[in-house]
Amino acid sequence: MTGAESLIRMRLRVEQDVFAVRQLGREVARAVGLEQQDQTRLATALSEVARVMLAAGPDGDVEFIAEPNGVPTLRVAVGNPRPGGVAEIGAQLVQVGRLVDTLEVGDGESGTVVRMARRLPASAPRLTPERMEDIRAGLVRHVPGTPLDELSAQNQQLIAALDEVRAQRDDLARLNAELAETNHGVMALYHQLSDELEETNRGVVALYAELDERSLQLRAASEAKSRFLANVSHELRAPVTAVIGLTRLLLDPASDPLSSEQRRQVDLIGGSAGDLLTLVNDLLDLAKAEAGRVEPQCSEVDLRALFGQLRGTLRPLATRPEVDFVVEEPAVPSLRSDEVLLARVLRNLLTNAVKFTADGSVTLAARAVDDDVEFTVADTGAGIPAELHERIFEEFYQVPGSKAGTGLGLPYARRLVGILGGSLRVDSAPGAGSTFTVRLPKS
Ligand code: ADP
C-alpha cells in the first residue's frame, strides 16, 4: 500500500454516527471522483458495516484512505476494539461485499477491522498531493446533517436509481424491438432463399425428366432407324440380285446376240445394280450391328493365319505397281476374339487404304501394347484433315472429292470394334497418309 494516505477519520460511538458515517462516506467518494452510483454503493456499504460494527460493540472508528499510485483506489477501514468477532461479522457482511470491489474482515492491531476498497474510474482527476490537501480541507469543513437530511438524500438517490432503472428498461425494450425486427428480416430472407432453392430444385428435376424423355426418344428413334434400314435393305436385296442375274443372262453368249449399244447399256445396268447391292449389303450389316444383333463368337485367333488370309484376298485389289502392299509378320501370335468380325474390320480398313493411295505403300501390322493388341493399317495416301477425323465415322459421310463409295464402311468398322470390346481411331494429315488403329483386349 505504498503512498496510501489518510484522508479523514471519525469515531463510531452511537447509532446517530451511522448516519454521519454514511454522509461522510458519500462525501469522500464524491471528493475523490467516484461516479454517482458508486458513491451511493460505497455509502450504503459503509452504513451497513457501521451498523454491524456498532452492534458488536461501541468505540469504533472509521478511516478513509486514498491510494493515488498504481490503480487509484479509495479504501475504508472500520475498526472495533472488541477482538474475536471476525467470523460473526464476516457472515453478516456477505451481501454488502457485492457493493464494493473488495471487503475483508480481519483481526487488527486492537480488535476487529473491516477493510473495503473501491477503484476510482479512469475519468477521475489525478490525486496529486495538492488535490489531496484540498480534499482533506473540504472534508474537515463537512458538517454532518440530521437524520432527516440523510432521509431526504436517500430519497433523492432512490429516485435517481428508479430513473436509471426506467431508462435501462426503455433501452431494453428498444433493443428487443430492434432484435425482433432483425429477426423478422432474417426470417424473410430465409423464406425467400428457401423459396428460390425450391424453385431451382423444381427446375432441375424438370430438366432431368426432360433429359430422360429425350434420351428415350433418341433411343426409340435410333431403333426405328435401324429397323427401317434392315427392312429396306432386306427388301431391296432380292430384286437387285434378280437384276444382276438378268443382266448376266442377257450378256451370256448362249443368249440372243445384242447390238454393241445394247451390250453397253446392259453393262451399265449390271454395274449400277452391283453398286446398289454393295450399298444394300453394307446397310444391312450396319443395321444389324446397330440393332445389337451381332453376337461375337470368340475363340483364340491365330494372327499369322489371319494375316495370310487377308494378304491372299486383298492382293488382287492392290494391282497398281506404284503401291506396295505389305502385310508384316504379326508381333503377337494370337488373341482371343471373333475372327470373322476382326477380319471384316481389317479388310474394310485395308480396302479403304488401297482405294485412297495412289502411290507408296499400304501396311498391315500387329503389336502388343500393355494388355492389348494394336492393329495398324497405314497408308501413304492423300490423308484426311484433322477436323474430319470424327466425321468420317458418321454414316454416309465421305470426304469431298473422294472416290465413289457408300460412306458406311468406317461407321460399320467402328461399331464392330465396339462389339469386340475395343476402339478404332485415326491419325492422319493431308499429304502425310493415314494410319487407322484398332485396339483390342488380348483376352
Ligand atoms: P467409303 O470408303 O465407302 O466412302 P468409309 O466409311 O469407309 O466409306 O469412309 C468414309 C470416308 O473416309 C471416305 O469416303 C474417305 O473420304 C475417307 N477415308 C477412309 N479411309 C481413308 C484413307 N485410308 N485415306 C484417305 N481417306 C480415307
Cβ atoms of residues 372 and 440 within 8 Å: yes
Q: Which atom of ligand 1 sits closest to the CA of residue 406?
A: 3
| pLDDT at position 2 | 55
> Which residue's CA lies nearest to atom 12 of ligand 1?
392
| pLDDT at position 229 | 80
DSSP secondary structure letters along 145-206:
--HHHHHHHHHHHHHHHHHHHHHHHHHHHHHHHHHHHHHHHHHHHHHHHHHHHHHHHHHHHH
For residue 106 the three cell numbers come to 480481519
Pocket of ligand 1 contains residue 377 by CB under 6 Å: no
Q: What is the pLDDT of residues 197-241, one digit of tens each?
A: 999 999 999 999 999 999 999 989 888 888 888 888 888 888 899
State the pairing for strand pair 360-369/334-337: unpaired
Domain locations in the chain? Answer: 5-145, 244-290, 299-441
| pLDDT at position 1 | 43
Look at phi and psi of residue 59 and say left if phi exceeds 0, alpha if psi is from -120 to 50, else beta: left
Pocket of ligand 1 contains residue 381 by CB under 6 Å: yes
> How far apart are the CA of 368 and the centre of ligand 1, in A?
26
**3-class DSSP assignment, residue 436:** strand
Going by C-alpha positions, the residue among 51, 47, 168 that lies closest to residue 100 is 47
> How far apart are the CA of 398 and the centre of ligand 1, in A?
6
The answer as to CATH 3.30.565.10 being correct for domain 5-145 is yes
Pocket of ligand 1 contains residue 352 by CB under 6 Å: yes
Pocket of ligand 1 contains residue 337 by CB under 6 Å: no
Pocket of ligand 1 contains residue 362 by CB under 6 Å: no
Going by C-alpha positions, the residue among 135, 133, 94, 101 that lies closest to residue 116 is 101
> How far apart are the CA of 384 and the centre of ligand 1, in A?
9
Pocket of ligand 1 contains residue 360 by CB under 6 Å: no
> How far apart are the CA of 338 and the centre of ligand 1, in A?
24
Pocket of ligand 1 contains residue 392 by CB under 6 Å: yes
Report the interhelical angle of 16-32 vs 36-56 (nearest 10°): 150
Instruction: Please provide the size of the chain in residues.
Output: 443
Q: Which atom of ligand 1 sits closest to the CA of residue 433?
A: 24
> Which residue's CA lies nearest to atom 21 of ligand 1?
352
> Which residue's CA lies nearest to atom 22 of ligand 1?
353
Pocket of ligand 1 contains residue 279 by CB under 6 Å: no
> How far apart are the CA of 412 and the centre of ligand 1, in A?
12
CATH topology match: 5-145 vs 299-441: yes
The answer as to CATH 3.30.565.10 being correct for domain 299-441 is yes
> Which residue's CA lies nearest to atom 7 of ligand 1?
409
Ranges of residues in the chain with a pLDDT under 50 are 1
What is the rounded CA–CA span in Å between residue 238 and residue 233? 9
